[in-house]
């Protein structure tokens, strides 16, 4: 009788743990909860780590697009990633006369698909260690996996690491990255 009760308790614990994992909440980003029923722009606007990205999206006129149906995968650089660019780069890109260049940079962070990290990792494995990622902006990023982390190499040779993966949105997914991905200009 005791064995049966212990077995039932063990089974219940395993089922409960599996259910909790299946319903795991989105990771917090920039100190804010990310709601799966909000779109990419709504959630990014709540992250204190993405104020530069949100300002850039507004300056480029991409708010409406990224609030659209999608699905989109956004590799979202942090404020620190933008700050690591050469001095004056962000300020220059935010000027109205540089809107086309800013749009190109930002759309090289967007893929027209809902690509969770497990799917990206599988594509990397299926492609023998490097997967070409086509972005909305026409850039080709090289996705690799290194020590359990996904990295993206941009067209200028810069390497960005996904620091927070699989932040589900109502219109896709965000993966937080530690570097701004740059297109060939």
Model pTM?
Answer: 0.84
Average pLDDT over residues 147-153: 94
Average pLDDT value over all residues in the chain: 86
pLDDT, average across residues 8-28: 44
183: in domain: no
CATH (domain of 51) = 2.30.180.10
Q: Is the pLDDT of residue 1 over 70?
A: no
Percentage of residues in the chain with pLDDT exceeding 70? 87
As a whole number of angstroms, the distance between CA 17 and CA 148 comes to: 23
CB-based contacts of 39, cutoff 8 Å, min separation 6:
66, 67, 68, 70, 169, 170, 171
Report how many domains make up the chain: 1
| Strand ranges (E), 15-118 | 72-77, 110-111
- Ranges of beta strands (E only) in 44-171 are 72-77, 110-111, 131-134, 140-146, 149-153, 159-169
3-state secondary structure of 74: strand
Q: Which two tokens stand for residue 159?
A: 């390497």
Structural domain including 141 reads 32-177
- Give the three-state DSSP class for 41: helix
Return the pLDDT at 3. Answer: 36
Q: What is the model's pLDDT at position 147?
A: 87
Percent of the chain with pLDDT over 90: 73
Domain membership flag for residue 22: no
């Amino acid at each position: 009788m005791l064995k049966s009760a212990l077995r039932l308790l063990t089974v219940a614990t395993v089922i409960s743990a599996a259910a909790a994992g299946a319903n795991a909440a989105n990771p917090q980003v920039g100190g804010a909860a990310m709601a799966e029923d909000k779109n990419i722009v709504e959630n990014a606007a709540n992250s204190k780590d993405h104020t530069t990205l949100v300002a850039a999206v507004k300056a480029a006129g991409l708010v409406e697009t990224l609030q659209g149906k999608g699905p989109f995968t956004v590799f979202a650089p942090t404020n620190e990633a933008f700050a690591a660019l050469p001095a004056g780069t962000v300020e220059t890109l935010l000027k109205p006369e540089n809107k086309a260049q800013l749009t190109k940079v930002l759309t090289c962070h967007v893929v027209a698909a809902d690509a969770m990290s497990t799917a990206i990792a599988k594509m990397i494995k299926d492609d023998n260690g490097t997967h070409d990622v086509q972005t909305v902006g026409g850039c080709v990023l090289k996705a690799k996996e290194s020590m359990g982390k996904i990295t993206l190499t941009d067209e200028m040779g810069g390497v960005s690491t996904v620091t927070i993966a699989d932040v589900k949105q109502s219109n896709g997914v965000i993966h937080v990255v530690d570097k701004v991905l740059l297109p060939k200009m």
